[in-house]
């Protein structure tokens, strides 16, 4: 049982919080291919836990965009309109990045299957 706890903490340490996206992202010290199947499996399990939070993060960003769009529709000051547009574009970019990370599971699963 102690070994499982150590394995989980090892896997969790392979991820670092990305403040911009609000989730932890992989930061492997060694290439994926050099990891044992057990370590790859541990990482996939840890990633799946993180990945499960991505849809909630997207919802938060979408709500923020709607709020900013409402403000933009009422805004008459050009400079403030530009600032609001920039903030909306930044949030949209975060959503796009989260979608890319969400699809990462499929890529890792395919890679793992190819080497099995």
What confidence tier does 108 reach under pLDDT thresholds 50, 70, 90? low
pTM, whole model, 2 decimals?
A: 0.81
- Residue keyed to tokens 């000051």: 77
- Residue keyed to tokens 């990045």: 97
Answer whether 88's CB lies under 8 Å from 68's CB: yes
Answer whether 81's CB lies under 8 Å from 50's CB: no
Residues 6+ apart with CB under 8 A from 68: 84, 87, 88, 91
| 116 pLDDT more than 60 | no
Interatomic CA distance for residues 60 and 83, integer angstroms: 20
Bridge partners for 23 per DSSP: 18
Count the helices and strands in the chain (H runs, E runs). Answer: 4, 2
Segment among 3-12, 24-33, 42-51, 107-116 with least mean pLDDT: 107-116
- Mean pLDDT value of segment 102-108: 71
What are the pLDDT digits (tens) for 21-34?
999 999 998 999 99
């Amino acid at each position: 049982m102690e070994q499982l706890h150590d394995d989980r903490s090892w896997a969790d340490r392979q991820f670092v919080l990305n403040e911009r996206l609000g989730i932890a992202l992989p930061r492997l010290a060694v290439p994926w291919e050099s990891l044992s199947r057990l370590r790859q499996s541990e990482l996939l399990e840890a990633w799946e836990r993180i990945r499960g939070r991505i849809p909630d993060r997207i919802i938060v960003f979408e709500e923020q965009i709607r709020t900013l769009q409402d403000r933009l529709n009422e805004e008459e000051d050009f400079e403030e309109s530009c600032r609001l547009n920039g903030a909306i574009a930044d949030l949209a970019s975060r959503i796009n990045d989260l979608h890319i990370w969400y699809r990462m599971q499929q890529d890792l699963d395919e890679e793992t299957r190819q080497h099995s």
